[in-house]
């Protein structure tokens, strides 16, 4: 499955911290992964945290529509100006967790394919 992830071009970190954009944009929050079905529930999420596996997960979007549901194009452009890129990864279907607004996968299961130009998202919706 192809997934899309917004990440810093150099350090590969995503733009969110506790599901809110780091630059202080509270409007661009994300639901917690146990709230949108990415993880079964908070208990499952915490079991990954206790086992030390949670830090291995990366979050992204299962398709372009899911990404643009969270990021309107103007907001996406603002985030990309802060040294972030849209990365497309290939992840085996059985190694991805898809929620209503995001997906999660372990970095070792993902193969980077390309950086996606923002113009590919301007025609979505």
Summarised one tens digit per residue, pLDDT across range 28-73 is 567 778 888 888 888 888 888 888 888 888 999 999 999 988 888 8
| Per-chain mean pLDDT for the chain | 84
> What confidence tier does 17 reach under pLDDT thresholds 50, 70, 90?
low
Residues 6+ apart with CB under 8 A from 85: 6, 7, 8, 9, 115, 116
Average pLDDT over residues 67-91: 87
The Cα–Cα gap between 62 and 31 comes to 15
pLDDT the model gives residue 74: 84
User: Which SS3 state, helix, strand or coil, does residue 112 take?
Assistant: strand
What ranges make up the beta strands (E) of 1-123? 2-8, 16-17, 20-21, 57-60, 84-90, 96-98, 103-106, 111-115
């Amino acid at each position: 499955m192809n997934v899309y992830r917004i990440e810093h071009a150099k350090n590969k970190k995503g733009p969110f911290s506790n599901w809110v954009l780091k630059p202080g944009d509270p409007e661009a929050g994300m639901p917690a992964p146990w709230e949108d079905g990415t993880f079964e529930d908070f208990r499952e999420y915490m079991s990954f945290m206790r086992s030390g596996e949670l830090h291995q997960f990366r979050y992204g979007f299962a398709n372009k529509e899911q990404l643009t549901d969270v990021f309107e194009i103007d907001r996406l452009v603002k985030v990309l100006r802060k040294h972030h890129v849209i990365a497309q990864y290939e992840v085996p279907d059985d190694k991805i967790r898809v929620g209503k607004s995001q997906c999660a996968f372990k970095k070792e299961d993902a193969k980077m394919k390309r950086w996606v130009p923002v113009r590919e998202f301007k025609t979505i919706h």
